Amino acid sequence: MAQPLVKKDDDRDDEADYSPFLGIEKGAVLQEARVFNDPQLDPRRCSQVITKLLYLLNQGETFTKTEATEVFFSVTKLFQSRDIGLRRMVYLMIKELSPSADEVIIVTSSLMKDMTSKTDMYRANAIRVLCRITEGTLLTQIERYLKQAIVDKNPVVASAALVSGIHLLQTNPEIVKRWSNEVQEAVQSRAALVQFHALGLLHQRSKGVHGHSNLQIRQNDRLAVSKLVTSLTRGTVRSPLAQCLLIRYTSQVIRESAASTQAGDRPFYDFLEGCLRHKAEMVIFEAARAITELSGVTTRELTPAITVLQLFLSSSKPVLRFAAVRTLNKVAMTHPMAVTNCNIDMESLISDQNRSIATLAITTLLKTGNESSVDRLMKQITNFMSDIADEFKIVVVEAIRSLCLKFPLKYRSLMNFLSNILREEGGFEYKKAIIDSIVILIRDIPEAKESGLLHLCEFIEDCEFTYLSTQILHFLGIEGPKTSDPSKYIRYIYNRVHLENATVRASAVSTLAKFGAMVDSLKPRIFVLLRRCLFDSDDEVRDRATLYLNTLGGDGSVVETDKDVKDFLFGSLDLPLVNLETSLKNYEPSEEPFDINSVPREIKAQPLAEKKGPSKKPAGLAALPTAPATTVDAYEKLLSSIPEFVDFGKLFKSSAPVELTEAETEYSVNVVKHIFDSHIVFQYNCTNTIPEQLLEHVTVIVEASEAEEFSQVVSKPVSSLPYDTPGQIFMAFEKLEGVPAVGKFSNMLRFTVKEVDPSTGEAEEDGVEDEYQLEDLEVVAADYMLKVGVSNFRNAWESMGADCERVDEYGLGPRESLAAAVSAVINLLGMQPCEGTEVVPSNSRSHTCLLSGVYMGNVRVLVRIAFGIDGPKDVAMKLAVRSEDESVSDAIHEIVASG
């Protein structure tokens, strides 16, 4: 795929990237492809068109069957040209199009002719293409030519045949296994690349025997690879590339045999050590890295590897310096003492022009340095910090934190360093990393507490991040009262009440109250300050000040604060804040006060959150506050209060309300669909809009004739529905567990009408039964999908892996526009568009849409759809789905196929 072109001498920030393929359209390029049919071929023009076609294919553009066939047949006509450059492009195009079996026959004769050509370039490329597009029967016919190519004198031809053999092992292993003699001969080749590819093919052939159990496969693999390594380590592998490959295979054998060999009896170690004396730098480094990564490696075994890496540290080549210092950085995590001999060389790398090398050198020195070298390192790092980006600074800060915990007596110099860089310019993540480090040092090193707290106090005097200010104030409230002189922090805290925004002011009021509650001698002064806060312009600040004054005792005398008050104000809440917020919202004011014991203490599951691995960083300040209670939480609370629904399990999703009546009708009814694993609950929200009527015994008659997979199990009517007072009717249906059943439900509102006297507001005793027809309600596939976005789709897609990927192509028929087709598919799947891909540029004939969601059962799903206009208005699409469960990937395709 072509890369954007950039002028090397210009600043990338000032010079916009330029791509020669900007704005190209598939339809226009297909029109240009007609030049392939010209009687007088223009090789340069044809090559340019093929380049554009290859670009479209690599960008995920989908060609319909007709388009692909037309392009393929047009490209085959270019074999009549003798231009070598154009012929190479033709080979690439045929490989990318991957023609079907009936189309391959058309081009086979031309490729076989090229495979026996006298032009080496034709032969090499023809072999690659033939092996890529042909089936087993044709491969048997050309096997003789492939064997000859493996031992060909031209290394390009030999390499092409060997690489093709590696690919064929996945589809036709029985053919490749018959090439043993030729491949063994290629291993002895003098051509570096041929030897490299031959060794790779030999290793692949040694792996896996089809038709055996997993255990047999592993045993056969291990024995075959061990035998291969044994034979080659005794021979002469000349190619540095092949030697690196052999070192990796040797490491594999050492790892797999570690469990069955005695300690100290490590096979092939002498071979690895011998490679440290090879003349090629890549071989030396590969051997050194392999030794350092051996499990249970001893200091004696490490020493020769560390020695050669130390020599690389002073190399004139940046890549060698980087490779060496990165490997030593990893070794320092497990064997810091083994790396100490390299410290002098690494200190010289602190001033290296390559900032990556300098950062790795710094962090390695911080891991391996001794107590006496700390001060010297700090001086060198101070000059270095201003020249690197925040992401590198964070790495250095974390290394300094580890060093301080390792040498607690050096906390003064390290704390001063952290406080100095805290006052410098930097982003939020960088500042947070520094503050986290200071907090951890205060917690773990008692002697560092007072100086660390003062550094934090000075920082909030000029802090631009509200989150950091509030977290520091909270920490001050915990640790400040425990110091020898708590009063010295009061000035810094009270300054925040005058100089900051409402969020920080409220946090400062809470911190002042903590000092008043914990330090009795400060209580009178704290009360004076809190009383001043009663006149703040913000409600939250005033409310907090009022609460603390009344709870702590408003007279402000020097008396001990009651233990219950301390526990109430500053103790652990012992219940989830989201649950508390939901309960407070549902509380209706009455004579009975709110009872905090009524708040559920179980932590709600959060299916909307992306799965993240556990953090390896030490915990510093608290994590970012959780999101407020959502509508789903309110629905879940409501449903859990109804005994009939308690056994339905965890609520997966609640839909947006669906209107079943038109606006300004006698009765207003909408419905919310609540999805459970084996049930679905319809919540009909009904409002009587006629003042002269009272509705009683209100229910909904639901007919599920077009929803055969559902059976009604619960009906909860409303006993009375006065004017303008909403009421809820619940109907529950059972379905097969985990099955995304769909269907249509007809709805009839049935009730008893009683006339209401407008003057007295009393209803008549007798009523009349009546019915009101509602709109039909559909349960669709999108109801079983939660819209959940991802911040970086590409990373999420790659981390999901291709194990559960399903790809297929669909025709959507005529559509008004490409945007209408994209919108229809998004609505059908009910997923969250990512990175703004739901917006289709005007006049575009192709578009790629990225979607993310969580399917029923809390299974994450990612979808990549490539749309294209086929013909006047027909739209085709290629749908790729990745999920954590292959059955879910299949289900998404079934939804599209049936939609």
Q: Return the SS3 of 363.
A: helix
State yes or no: pLDDT of 881 exceeds 90.
yes
End of a domain among 453, 479, 509? Answer: 453
Do 385 and 473 share a domain, yes or no? Answer: no
Are 851 and 833 in contact, with CB atoms under 8 Å apart? yes
Do 768 and 812 share a domain, yes or no? Answer: no
Do 492 and 544 share a domain, yes or no? Answer: yes
Residue 30 resides in a domain: no
The CA distance from 288 to 293, in Å, is: 9
Q: What is the pLDDT of residues 313-367, one digit of tens each?
A: 888 999 999 999 999 988 887 787 888 888 888 888 887 888 888 888 888 887 7
End of a domain among 422, 453, 484? Answer: 453
Written as six digits, the tokens of 219 are: 């045993």
Do 388 and 491 share a domain, yes or no? Answer: no
Residue type, 384: F
pLDDT at 217: 31
Residue 558 resides in a domain: yes
pLDDT at 390: 75
| 3-state SS string for 158-224 | HHHHHHHHHHHCCCCHHHHHHHHHHHHHHHCCCCHHHHHHHHHHHHHHHCCCCCCCHHHHHHHHHHH
| 209-216 mean pLDDT | 34
Which letter does DSSP use for residue 560 in this model? P
Residue 685 sits in a domain whose CATH number is 2.60.40.1480
Distances (CA, A) of 751 to 198, 664, 817: 83, 19, 46
Do 400 and 421 share a domain, yes or no? Answer: yes
The CA distance from 869 to 230, in Å, is: 58
Do 671 and 774 share a domain, yes or no? Answer: yes
Residue 102 parent element (H or E): helix 101-115
Do 681 and 758 share a domain, yes or no? Answer: yes
pLDDT at 51: 92
What is the percentage of the chain residues whose pLDDT exceeds 90? Answer: 12
State yes or no: pLDDT of 869 exceeds 90.
no
| 368-392 mean pLDDT | 72
The CA distance from 654 to 634, in Å, is: 10
pLDDT at 6: 39
Residue 852 resides in a domain: yes
Ramachandran angles phi, psi of 69, nearest 5°: -65, -45
Structural domain that includes position 857:
782-898
Which letter does DSSP use for residue 761 in this model? -
Written as six digits, the tokens of 254 are: 């050492």
State yes or no: pLDDT of 820 exceeds 50.
yes
Residue 35 resides in a domain: no
Residue 76 resides in a domain: no
Q: Which of 157-166, 181-190, 392-401, 452-461 is predicted with the least confidence, judged by mean pLDDT?
A: 392-401
The predicted model scores a pTM of 0.51
Rounded to the nearest integer, the mean pLDDT of the chain is: 81
End of a domain among 572, 588, 607? Answer: 572
Do 668 and 774 share a domain, yes or no? Answer: yes
Residue 803 sits in a domain whose CATH number is 3.30.310.10
Q: What is the pLDDT of residues 489-541, one digit of tens each?
A: 899 998 888 888 899 999 999 999 888 888 888 888 888 888 889 888 999 99
Give 171 or 718, the one with higher predicted confidence: 718
The CA distance from 73 to 30, in Å, is: 13
Q: What is the DSSP string of 432-454?
A: HHHHHHHHHHHHH-GGGHHHHHH
Q: Where are the alpha helices (DSSP H) in 11-83?
A: 26-32, 43-58, 65-76
Do 689 and 787 share a domain, yes or no? Answer: no
The CB density around residue 274, as the number of other CB atoms within 10 Å, is: 12
Do 889 and 812 share a domain, yes or no? Answer: yes
The CA distance from 311 to 363, in Å, is: 19
Q: What is the pLDDT of residues 788-813, one digit of tens each?
A: 877 678 778 888 878 888 999 888 88
Angle, to 10 degrees, between the axis of helix 411-422 and the axis of helix 390-406?
160
Residue 10 resides in a domain: no
Residue 749 resides in a domain: yes
Q: Which of 79-83, 579-583, 750-754 is predicted with the least confidence, judged by mean pLDDT?
A: 579-583
Q: Return the SS3 of 456.
A: helix
Distances (CA, A) of 399 to 329, 361, 363, 710: 11, 11, 6, 60
Q: How many domains does the chain have?
A: 4
Do 709 and 658 share a domain, yes or no? Answer: yes
Q: What is the pLDDT of residues 600-655, one digit of tens each?
A: 755 443 333 333 343 333 334 333 333 334 466 678 888 888 888 888 888 888 88
Do 407 and 523 share a domain, yes or no? Answer: no
pLDDT at 682: 93
Residue 672 resides in a domain: yes
